[in-house]
Amino acid sequence: MRSLDWKKSEVENIAGLVEGNSAIGVASIHEIPAREFQSIRRDLRGKADIRVAKKTLIRRALEGAEKSGVDAIESRMDGEIALIFTDMNPFKLFRYLEDNKVSTPAKPGHVAPDDIWVEGGQTSFAPGPIVSELQKVGIPARIERGKVVITKDTLFVKKGEVIDKPRSDVLSKLEIKPMRIGLDVRAIYESGTMFDRETLDVDEEEILGQLSLASQQAFNLAYNAGFFTDATIVPMIQEAYSKARALSINSRVPTEETVAIILTLGRGEMLSLAAALLEANPDSVGEELREALSKSVPPEVEESESKVEKEEEETESEAPEEEEESPGLGALFA
């Protein structure tokens, strides 16, 4: 009777967690030592609840759940598993669990999670049997200056291969810990959707890079097409202002902002013409112009000319390049 009461209570507890959390994860706990498992549970306190129960009880709890598609969890429950109940975003939960795994030595029978490389270089080993041990498992080694040296980087175990005892012993001696202990997430359910490991295991840097590129390209498209948005309106007005100012100066149509520059440029052109006339016929230039020509070119003339040239260059290169920083994608078509 007590056994039945306990099972009923456990089913009700699991069913309550299913209904009370937005996300439900299924994770393998195979070969996780009890001490490490308790540490993981403590680390997740306040973020998620972990429950380990008999699969028959879990199935009964899932059968009574009102959430659509939650029964898909059952197909991911092979082997030793735990359920994770949380309100965290599935992708954030997956990344958190992956980042908090602990590196451990490989044991005979373990499957390499990734390619395992042994780096070349001097080791801490003194000459001895270690040289032959390394050579037997395919690691090139020799003695140099009283130390064992691995002569080149070596792909020791390929991803997916089973690690045998000789290789696990060598990895242990080289203090290489290729295995990572932690909850191995298989899938996470949220709002009727089951996210498998392949979907959850995204490259964040790659995704951010793609979003950044899309934002830049969308900004350039809107800018060059003359499409006004919150992101493009300011640089488009700035470009129009620069072009209008440069047009006013180059066509000598004075405005309140350009009249001083135009007059300065006109004076400079007048002095240039006077210098040419003076060279051709000294009597054709009056004393006042001679005196002006005898002085150096006024700094404001050079400054005004260079300023106009700079404005023209800026106007030509006003449109943003592909590589430029640009506002977020969401602001482009607001």
- Print burial letters for 123-159: b (CB count within 10 Å at least 16), e (below 16): bebeeeebbebbeebebebeeeeeebbbeeebebbee
**Mean pLDDT computed over 63-83:** 87
Q: Which residue range is the domain that position 16 belongs to?
A: 2-101+182-202
Q: What does pTM read for this prediction?
A: 0.57
pLDDT in tens, 1-36: 456 778 888 888 998 998 889 999 999 998 888 888
Q: Are residues 84 and 16 both part of a single domain?
A: yes
**Mean pLDDT computed over 111-119:** 92
Q: Are residues 154 and 77 both part of a single domain?
A: no
pLDDT greater than 90 at residue 311: no
CATH of the domain at 154: 3.90.105.20
pLDDT greater than 60 at residue 126: yes
Residue 21 lies in a domain: yes
Task: State the total domains in the chain.
Answer: 3
Q: Are residues 263 and 294 both part of a single domain?
A: yes
Q: Are residues 22 and 136 both part of a single domain?
A: no
Residue 107 lies in a domain: no
Q: Are residues 220 and 283 both part of a single domain?
A: yes
Position 286 confidence tier, pLDDT thresholds 50, 70, 90: confident
Residue 110 lies in a domain: no
The pLDDT score that the predictor gives to residue 303 is 52
Q: Are residues 58 and 198 both part of a single domain?
A: yes
For 147, residues 6+ apart whose C-beta sits below 8 A from its C-beta are 122, 123, 124, 125, 126, 127
CATH of the domain at 51: 3.30.70.1730
What is the amino acid identity at position 115? D
Q: Are residues 193 and 236 both part of a single domain?
A: no
Q: Are residues 266 and 228 both part of a single domain?
A: yes
For 182, residues 6+ apart whose C-beta sits below 8 A from its C-beta are 32, 36, 40, 97, 98, 100, 101, 102
pLDDT greater than 50 at residue 325: no
pLDDT in tens, 193-251: 999 998 998 877 888 899 999 999 999 999 999 999 999 999 999 999 999 999 999 99
Position 278 confidence tier, pLDDT thresholds 50, 70, 90: confident
Q: Are residues 230 and 241 both part of a single domain?
A: yes
Q: Are residues 194 and 237 both part of a single domain?
A: no
